[in-house]
Structure 1
């Protein structure tokens, strides 16, 4: 019996050896880190040096030109972020697919900004601020938490809430923006947003999210809405149909910037709160590069002089910009103060 067992083991080893020698094993050779505007070479490697008839490469679903088993990728047209890379190998009448990605980082470091406090105004201590916007001399604000989410019109100088409505208790309210005579208000996990009349606060419509499953912050330009979902992505929405038309990924020269929250468009750049961080990221909407970082950690210390903040909860959130008078306002979740600040380049 032992002899038969040894024979079976020996034959199994021979079979496995033959099978392994006949098998094709592929891997994609690529740089660990790509820099925007640099060229990147990727190769499909057959690890046993077996012949390949043809190789095709696809980047973000589109075929790119290749020579032999290699392709040259120009990153300037990609933008920063992770980009899906697929290689198709054709051999012996068979096809095999290898999946990977190219990760592109910014080609420059962000500029660091500190700040100067220009004015300080009262702010509702109970407002769990999620969205903030300046419009025609007033602040419009949305607050969060289920059963506590509200839309408000606020007097800047006094902090008085001039008008307020509550969101359905099953939703957790998030960011908002004003487009013409409409208020666009997001929900967090409800997978939908709501549209309100600016003057009456009456609901006039709603819209579903598409690829982005959550709503965090929203702002707009003259031609599109820009929406964050808590990741490193900012989605572009059609302002009429509310459909997602694409997205950028947000990166610095050495990392992906996640947890993007409340948004505001300031002089063509997206200003974004980073959740649980007293920092504002200044983002180029064309390519996702973080061009600046506003270090506002000192505001938390300023708040601590008169108010005890709950760590990791009552953090900086809320950016509003008065373009006509070049005024930048910021506040936080349940902060009792609204700050008008000026960013100062380091």
Structure 2
């Protein structure tokens, strides 16, 4: 999600109005009217270092490689704030990195086949790369804001900061279906980073210390992972410094299918946390 540039109260008002305009307008949607939500317990089994300059927008694991995308715009005197980096999952050693132009705000990423797709926040551009060597292959158009993205291996799932998850054809980014996310029968806005796991989507909710588990059949939230106590459970204690607009929040979910764990982090956080769900 973007870096907010206005005072928190007014940003919330404008943000809510923008969410109301970001939905699919004529495509079939699914809306759940009931919910069987439960609390998901967890334990922290490993803590790893994380680059505090990384304003995390996307995170996933493929073939024992951890991919991460970051957001932010800069000027000629700044370091690149938006980049994609891949690291060996074994030791988190950097393997390759792509720096975006400093006027582009990078967002969620995902891989289908041998292609790596990257959303941008408000430029309506999707960058397409070779997932192995990071060579740029082309660009596609996305009509809405870009936030989070994940895949089931065939289709892409995209969030726009609203209550909607768009199911998209990766070839041309045409929308195949739209799912409205609901919690206890009410629409849940601010859906951000996404991770597809065994037919469900785990999603960050922007500016909340929770990850929700979404049933793709009807969009209902069937579980909530409350990570407000992750510092205590992990034995870490870190200060994120100046965060006037509450942007340095939990964001980033990667599923390790080999160990059946989740790796999570936040924007500019100093740590990655490996979680075992209960």
Does residue 241 (structure 1) correspond to residue 172 (structure 2)? The answer is yes
State TM-score, norm by structure 2. Answer: 0.82
Report the RMSD for the aligned CA atoms in angstroms.
Answer: 2.2
The one of 27, 50, 60 equivalent to 1:133 is 60
Tell me, which stretches of 5 or more residues in structure 2 are unaligned? Answer: 1-24, 75-80
**197 and 269 in structure 1: CA distance in 2 versus 1, 3 angstrom threshold:** same
- CA positional deviation for 1:254: 3.9
**214 and 121 in structure 1: CA distance in 2 versus 1, 3 angstrom threshold:** same
Cα separation, 1, equivalents of 2:83 and 2:150:
18
Count residues in correspondence.
Answer: 245
* Counterpart for residue 30 of structure 2: 79
* Counterpart for residue 6 of structure 1: none
The answer to whether the 8 A contact 1:134-1:320 is kept is yes
- CA positional deviation for 1:202: 1.2
* Counterpart for residue 276 of structure 1: 207
Does residue 335 (structure 1) correspond to residue 259 (structure 2)? The answer is no
Cα separation, 1, equivalents of 2:26 and 2:226:
38
The answer to whether the 8 A contact 1:186-1:215 is kept is yes
The answer to whether the 8 A contact 1:121-1:156 is kept is no
- CA positional deviation for 1:186: 0.5
Q: Which has the larger radius of gyration?
A: 1
Higher RCO (C-alpha 8 Å, min separation 6): 2
**78 and 188 in structure 1: CA distance in 2 versus 1, 3 angstrom threshold:** closer
3-state DSSP of counterpart to 1:219? strand
**123 and 110 in structure 1: CA distance in 2 versus 1, 3 angstrom threshold:** same
3-state DSSP of counterpart to 2:229? helix
Does residue 149 (structure 1) correspond to residue 82 (structure 2)? The answer is yes
- Structure with bigger strand share is 1
Cα separation, 2, equivalents of 1:307 and 1:118:
18
Does residue 209 (structure 1) correspond to residue 209 (structure 2)? The answer is no
**127 and 160 in structure 1: CA distance in 2 versus 1, 3 angstrom threshold:** farther
* Counterpart for residue 19 of structure 2: none
Cα separation, 1, equivalents of 2:168 and 2:89:
30
3-state DSSP of counterpart to 2:165? strand
